[in-house]
């Protein structure tokens, strides 16, 4: 039995429809419309958290429709930790913390692939703790 991951699909130049299809498949959502609702909710939340050059650079790498949702948000003055981000998404969408965690991880993993390694590293350096796993990266902490 092989434990290799599935095929890595190209993300450069991804259209919004391709992004929705990837999220629908990875998140096991029943319809593309449901995937679209999740993508919009998570991107809006991320748009409220990210500022500066990382915000501009990420918007440039997202499909136009996704970039619009993301960039339209006014950043909150108080950044949320990864856990608070998930709780906030659950409250805004009426979901449970478990489904909000699933939704967030599904979308942000795709966003992280679109961002690429270097930009994602910069994004994670800007955000409070807890976002690494949401983007599909291990989050290592130094021992005290």
CATH number of the domain residue 90 falls in: 1.10.490.110
128 inside domain: yes
Per-residue pLDDT for 7 more than 60?
no
pTM for the complete prediction? 0.88
Rounded CA separation 61/77 (Å): 24
What is the residue range of 90's domain?
31-135
142 inside domain: no
123 inside domain: yes
The per-residue pLDDT for 138 is 80
SS3 12: coil
21 inside domain: no
pLDDT digits (tens, 9 = 90+) for 26-62: 999 999 999 999 999 999 999 999 999 999 999 999 9
26 inside domain: no
Per-residue pLDDT for 142 more than 60?
no
66 inside domain: yes
Per-residue pLDDT for 143 more than 70?
no
pLDDT digits (tens, 9 = 90+) for 104-118: 999 999 999 999 999
Host H or E run for residue 59 = helix 52-61
Host H or E run for residue 19 = helix 16-27
Q: Left if phi > 0, otherwise alpha if psi is -120 to 50, otherwise beta: which for 52?
A: left
Q: Left if phi > 0, otherwise alpha if psi is -120 to 50, otherwise beta: which for 71?
A: alpha
Residue 36 Cα distances to 21, 31, 66, 116, 121, angstroms: 9, 9, 10, 22, 26
pLDDT digits (tens, 9 = 90+) for 58-115: 999 999 999 999 999 999 999 999 999 999 999 999 999 999 999 999 999 999 999 9
In total, how many domains does the chain have?
Answer: 1
């Amino acid at each position: 039995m092989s434990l290799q991951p599935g095929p890595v699909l190209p993300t450069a130049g991804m259209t919004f429809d391709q992004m929705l299809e990837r999220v629908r498949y990875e998140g096991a959502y029943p319809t593309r419309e449901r995937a679209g609702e999740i993508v919009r909710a998570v991107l809006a939340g991320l748009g409220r958290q990210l500022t500066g050059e990382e915000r501009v650079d990420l918007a440039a790498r997202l499909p136009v429709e996704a970039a619009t949702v993301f960039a339209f948000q006014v950043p909150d003055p108080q950044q949320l930790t990864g856990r608070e981000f998930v709780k906030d998404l659950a409250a805004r969408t009426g979901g449970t913390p478990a489904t909000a965690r699933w939704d967030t991880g599904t979308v942000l993993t795709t966003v992280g692939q679109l961002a690429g390694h270097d930009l994602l590293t910069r994004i994670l350096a800007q955000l409070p703790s807890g976002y690494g796993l949401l983007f599909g990266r291990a989050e290592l902490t130094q021992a005290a």
